């Protein structure tokens, strides 16, 4: 008699503010989006793992204990069983896995973390791993992505996929992993528009930025850039370029997260919107992770009377923008901006939040 199928899912995320701060030990403020990844899993009698993804042209296969990096999508699953084994989990047998997702790839919305947490939740259920709580699942997903896949991401994406929901923002200290939920303002609509320019975090630029931050911290004599305070800002000018600007972004972005939480709690949307614009300028000029198409979307948002604020969200080098629009105006505003952007850029944007009404 064959084992029963189990199913689990996890959402993508949009980061409201706090970009490139997580691998520096700082603060982030993501929220979940409606799009999710679904993992349907059945335990096998042997040690083989068979994976079918609707987004892949061919299935993937490997054997537990023989995981080897291939440089393709299957590495995200292999990395998880590799990380579980290193964590002391004995899966005893392989499994069949089916993956479906409507979290867009390359949009800066954590499609990989959504997959990782969905698969880990399915494995936890099928193999009865009660010791793997939601925070531990996030840590295992990050280990898989850092050490097996080769993308040196921080832990925000996995924590958001594991803990966040669509009605609150997750205020997370990425050093202590303590978090609390902050209600999203009822007076505003969340808007997410994909620029049509895809990115890949396993590529060199993201890892380069992390290395620059680590070098800046070492030269400043602190364990992580999180340990800097506003009083340290003058010291950044002594760093060689571009390390000073990289550190300035992280230091100021951490402060912006704290101000954004206060603005959310006070329902001060004008202040929150200005923090969005400050964050985008910092990412564009100091951290240099934006692209002209994303800048154009932010400029169109800033020119729109129904938008409080707009910024690049995610790791950068393409991807999506997040905006706050007036209550009830999210859909019309997003469509209006997307149409203007398409005409001016020649790109095909996609409005992801609010989801198109069927």
At 107-139, the pLDDT tens digits run 889 999 999 999 999 999 999 997 789 999 999
Kindly give the interhelix angle for 292-302 and 269-285, rounded to the nearest 10 degrees.
160
At 81 the pLDDT is 98
Position 108 scores a pLDDT of: 86
> In the chain, which stretches have pLDDT less than 70?
1, 200-203, 358
One-letter-per-residue 3-state SS of 156-219? HHHHHHHHCCCCEEEEEECCCCCEEEEECCCCEEEEEEECCCCCCCCCHHHHHHHHHHHHHHHH
* pLDDT computed for residue 358 by the predictor: 44
The per-residue pLDDT for 227 is 97
Would the pTM count as exceeding 0.85? yes
Q: How many residues in the chain?
A: 358
pLDDT tens column, 152-211: 889 999 999 999 999 999 999 999 999 999 999 999 999 999 999 987 544 578 889 999
The pLDDT assigned to 203 comes to 55
The residue annotated as part of the active site, out of 46, 48, 72, 157, is 157
The beta strands (E) that lie in the chain are given as: 6-17, 27-43, 48-53, 60-63, 95-101, 168-173, 179-183, 188-194, 307-313, 320-326, 350-353
157 catalytic residue (yes or no): yes
Partner residues linked to 192 by β-bridges? 322, 353
Q: How far is CA 237 from CA 153, 177, 322, in A?
A: 27, 31, 31
Q: How far apart are CA 7 and CA 122, in angstroms?
A: 6
pLDDT score for 132:
86
User: Which pLDDT score is estimated for 351?
Assistant: 97
Q: Which of these, 76, 99, 203, lies nearest to 151 by C-alpha position?
A: 203
């Amino acid at each position: 008699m064959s084992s029963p199928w189990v199913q689990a899912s996890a959402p993508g995320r949009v980061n409201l503010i706090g970009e490139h701060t997580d691998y520096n030990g700082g603060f982030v403020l993501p929220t979940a989006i409606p799009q999710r990844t679904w993992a349907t899993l059945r335990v096998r009698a042997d040690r083989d793992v068979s994976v079918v993804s609707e987004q892949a042209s061919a299935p993937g296969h490997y054997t537990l204990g023989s995981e080897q990096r291939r440089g393709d999508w299957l590495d995200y699953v292999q990395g998880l069983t590799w990380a579980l084994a290193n964590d002391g989990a004995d899966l005893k047998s392989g499994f069949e896995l089916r993956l479906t997702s409507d979290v867009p790839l390359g949009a800066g919305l954590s499609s990989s973390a959504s997959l990782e947490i969905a698969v880990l939740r399915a494995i936890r259920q099928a193999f009865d791993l009660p010791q793997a709580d939601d925070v531990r699942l996030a840590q295992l997903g990050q280990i898989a992505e850092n050490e097996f896949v080769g993308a040196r991401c921080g832990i925000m994406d996995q924590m958001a996929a594991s803990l966040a929901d669509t009605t609150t923002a997750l205020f997370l200290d990425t050093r202590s992993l303590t978090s609390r939920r902050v209600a999203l303002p009822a007076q505003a609509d969340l808007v997410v528009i994909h620029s049509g320019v895809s990115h890949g975090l396993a590529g060199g630029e993201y890892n380069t930025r992390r290395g620059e931050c680590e070098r800046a911290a070492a030269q400043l004599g602190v364990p992580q850039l999180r340990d800097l305070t506003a009083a340290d800002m003058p010291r950044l000018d002594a760093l060689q370029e571009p390390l000073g600007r990289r550190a300035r972004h992280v230091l100021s972005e951490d402060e912006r997260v704290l101000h954004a939480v206060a603005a959310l709690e006070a329902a001060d949307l004008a202040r929150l919107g200005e923090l969005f614009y400050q964050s985008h300028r910092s990412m564009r000029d100091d951290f240099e992770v934006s692209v002209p198409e994303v800048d154009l979307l932010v400029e169109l948002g800033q020119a729109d009377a129904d938008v409080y604020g707009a910024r690049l969200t995610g790791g950068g080098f393409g991807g999506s923008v997040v905006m706050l629009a007036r209550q009830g105006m999210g859909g019309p505003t997003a469509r209006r901006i997307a149409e203007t952007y398409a005409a001016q850029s020649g790109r095909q944007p996609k409005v992801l939040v609010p989801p198109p009404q069927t």
